[in-house]
């Protein structure tokens, strides 16, 4: 069955199978891979793994601090939960998916934090027809992802935890401390977590203060901060890889223009950091100029060019799609992009090449 966005365990099925067959290292109870092989799965390695006599390349999937990955894996093997924090678009969700796929074989055991998240959604709820008919029983209980994680000994992902109400968040405190869930409606109702259970939560730094986590809950997590990519070449590589994958899944066979990718990565990084490669200071827009947003801009531009012009990607489409990203938080930020073009892009356009063609498209900014 074709999927628009396959989960990590499906997308990298061959790599995971090959690593499992090769892995003879020590692993925590119920883990499918040893910590060293979980790390290799996420950051890649030079040597392929063999699967049915076929060499399988183990690709890098996360670009960033490799030591952070090692710390995250060790945290999951211990008694504390793992909290991944950072700016929006820094691949926190992707990293939590990769960790869950490598450790437990599934990344789908997930709670999505929203303003409407309740304690029932986190712990368990009831099939009320069965409850009224036969009273409280295990058959009438509707398990949550947290319940499932405890019962099966697998990881539970909690996305955007700070978007959940504080009282819902705090229902995790005793579970993370004691690894026990009380179910008072059932006789002898206690669920003890099986080995392998833990929680990976994510939170955006920009969400701080929406529903601030209590100190008691924070103490149950080890915090790891994922920082934006600080290297244009590395960011361009991520944009190229993810854009190619997304376009292929959309049924669009186009060549990725590496020159345009680097141009886009340079623009986003300079606007995000407020500094050009020549050392000039810039104003930064309120919008999140993340790698994920850059991927979205490239994919949208490529799709627009493909469907309307029948070609790979055009710079006018790139600038048009960039406007929506820049103006997402504040339309006045378009003046920052206009200044970037009138000063930085104009200066580089003197060398002709792609920056000259890029500068010609400033007319779309208004």
Question: What whole-number distance in Å separates Cα of residue 350 and Cα of residue 27?
Answer: 58
pLDDT tens track for 212-265? 889 999 999 999 999 888 889 999 999 999 899 889 888 888 899 999 999 999
pLDDT score recorded for residue 210: 66
Same domain membership, residue 303 and residue 190: no
pLDDT tens track for 127-178? 999 989 888 988 899 999 999 999 999 999 999 999 999 999 999 999 999 9
Question: Among residues 169, 200, 226, which one ends one of the domains?
Answer: 226
Same domain membership, residue 214 and residue 143: yes
- Chain centroid, CA 275 distance in Å: 26
Helix ranges, 54-91 (H):
66-77
Same domain membership, residue 89 and residue 164: yes
Same domain membership, residue 289 and residue 169: no
Which residue matches tokens 């356009």? Answer: 349
Asked if the structure places residue 294 within a domain, the reply is: yes
Q: What stretches of 139-279 adopt beta strand conformation (E)?
A: 141-143, 155-159, 180-182, 190-192, 198-204, 221-226
Same domain membership, residue 191 and residue 249: no
> 322 Cβ partners below 8 Å, 6+ apart?
267, 297, 337
Same domain membership, residue 347 and residue 261: yes
pLDDT score recorded for residue 68: 96
Q: The CATH number of the domain where 129 resides is what?
A: 3.40.50.300
Asked if the structure places residue 252 within a domain, the reply is: yes
Same domain membership, residue 220 and residue 239: no
pLDDT score recorded for residue 250: 85
Asked if the structure places residue 184 within a domain, the reply is: yes
Same domain membership, residue 170 and residue 297: no
Same domain membership, residue 202 and residue 76: yes
Contacts of 339-343 with CB under 8 Å at 24 or more apart are 339/282, 339/283, 340/267, 340/270, 340/271, 340/282, 341/365, 343/280
Question: Among residues 226, 243, 269, which one ends one of the domains?
Answer: 226
DSSP state of 153: T
Angle, nearest 10°, between helix axes 353-360 and 258-273? Answer: 70
Asked if the structure places residue 71 within a domain, the reply is: yes
pLDDT score recorded for residue 276: 94
* End-to-end C-alpha distance for the chain, whole angstroms: 45
Same domain membership, residue 251 and residue 130: no
Q: How many domains does the chain have?
A: 2
Asked if the structure places residue 77 within a domain, the reply is: yes
pLDDT tens track for 314-336? 999 999 999 988 988 788 889 99
Same domain membership, residue 216 and residue 238: no
Question: Among residues 226, 260, 281, which one ends one of the domains?
Answer: 226
pLDDT score recorded for residue 88: 84
195 exposed, middle or buried (CB, 10 Å; 0-12, 13-18, 19+)? exposed
Same domain membership, residue 189 and residue 75: yes
Q: From its phi and psi, is residue 290 left (phi > 0), alpha (psi between -120 and 50) or beta?
A: beta
Asked if the structure places residue 164 within a domain, the reply is: yes
pTM beyond 0.95: the answer is no
What does the block give as tokens for 311?
A: 């070609």
Asked if the structure places residue 131 within a domain, the reply is: yes
Asked if the structure places residue 41 within a domain, the reply is: no
What domain range is 82 assigned to? 66-226
pLDDT score recorded for residue 306: 94
pLDDT score recorded for residue 209: 54
């Amino acid at each position: 069955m074709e999927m628009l966005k396959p989960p990590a365990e499906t997308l990298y099925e061959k790599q995971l199978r090959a690593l499992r067959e090769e892995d003879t290292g020590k692993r925590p109870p119920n883990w499918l891979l040893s910590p060293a092989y979980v790390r290799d799965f996420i950051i890649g390695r030079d040597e392929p793994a063999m699967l049915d006599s076929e060499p399988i390349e183990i690709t890098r999937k996360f670009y960033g601090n490799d030591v952070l990955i090692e710390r995250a894996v060790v945290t999951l093997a211990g008694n504390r939960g793992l909290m991944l924090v950072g700016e929006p678009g820094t691949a926190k969700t992707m990293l939590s998916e990769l960790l869950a796929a490598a450790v437990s074989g599934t990344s789908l055991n997930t709670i999505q934090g929203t303003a409407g998240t309740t304690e029932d959604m986190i712990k368990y709820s009831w099939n009320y027809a069965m409850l009224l008919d036969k009273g409280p029983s295990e058959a009438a209980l509707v398990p949550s992802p947290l319940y499932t994680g405890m019962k099966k000994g697998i990881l539970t992902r909690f996305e955007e935890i700070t978007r959940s109400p504080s009282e819902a968040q705090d229902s995790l405190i005793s579970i993370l401390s004691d690894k026990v869930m009380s179910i008072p409606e059932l006789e002898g109702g206690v669920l003890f977590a099986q080995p392998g259970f833990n929680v990976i939560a994510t939170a955006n730094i920009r969400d701080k203060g929406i529903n601030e986590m209590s100190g008691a809950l924070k103490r149950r997590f080890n915090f790891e901060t994922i920082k934006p990519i600080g290297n244009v070449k590395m960011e361009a590589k991520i944009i190229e890889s993810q854009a190619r994958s997304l376009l292929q899944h959309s049924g669009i066979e186009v060549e990725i223009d590496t020159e345009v990718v680097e141009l886009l990565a340079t623009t986003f990084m300079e606007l995000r950091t407020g500094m050009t490669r020549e050392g000039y200071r810039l104003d930064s827009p309120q919008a999140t100029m993340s790698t994920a947003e850059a991927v979205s801009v490239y994919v949208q531009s490529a799709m627009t060019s493909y469907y309307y012009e029948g070609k790979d990607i055009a710079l006018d489409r790139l600038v048009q799609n960039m406007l929506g990203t820049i103006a997402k938080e504040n339309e006045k930020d378009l003046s920052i992009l206009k200044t970037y073009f009138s000063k930085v892009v104009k200066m580089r356009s003197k060398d002709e090449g792609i920056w000259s063609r890029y500068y010609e498209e400033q007319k779309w900014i208004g």
